[in-house]
Amino acid sequence: MNNGNLNNKICLICRRKLEQPFDKHHIIPKSKGGKKTILIHRICHSKIHSVLTENQLKNNYNTVEKIVSVPEINEFIKWVSNKPPGFYKRTKRKRN
């Protein structure tokens, strides 16, 4: 395992260099028993989950190729490609 070194790593969604903040995304949602994860930018990650439900991810969008083929995510990738790798638009979270 080599978790510390992000050199030469790219985000599989937007293909930009991987930098903080980034997240682990389960190709099959964890809640559906998925174990395989990929590292992607946090902004790319929140986009995936704002567009696709866990059931859609599990049943229809269980590869990176399928995810990026979704028109709304494709548009997002074009938009984010001009942003710096560490770009993340903060959204306020409600505290529970």
Q: Which residues bind Zn ion (CB under 5 A)?
A: 11, 13-14, 25, 41, 44
Please identify, using beta-carbon distances, which residue of 49 and 96 lies nearer to Zn ion.
49
**Shortest gap between Cβ of 72 and Zn ion (angstroms)?**
15
**Shortest gap between Cβ of 49 and Zn ion (angstroms)?**
6
Please identify, using beta-carbon distances, which residue of 41 and 58 lies nearer to Zn ion.
41
The residue whose two tokens read 């991987």 is 18
**Shortest gap between Cβ of 16 and Zn ion (angstroms)?**
6
- Ramachandran region of residue 63, left (φ > 0), alpha (ψ -120 to 50) or beta? beta
> Residue 13 has which token pair?
């969604």
Please identify, using beta-carbon distances, which residue of 5 and 62 lies nearer to Zn ion.
62
Nearest residue to Zn ion, scored by beta-carbon proximity:
11
Q: How many angstroms separate the CA atoms of 69 and 47, rounded?
A: 13
Give DSSP secondary structure letters for 14-31: T-SBP-SSEEEEESS-GG
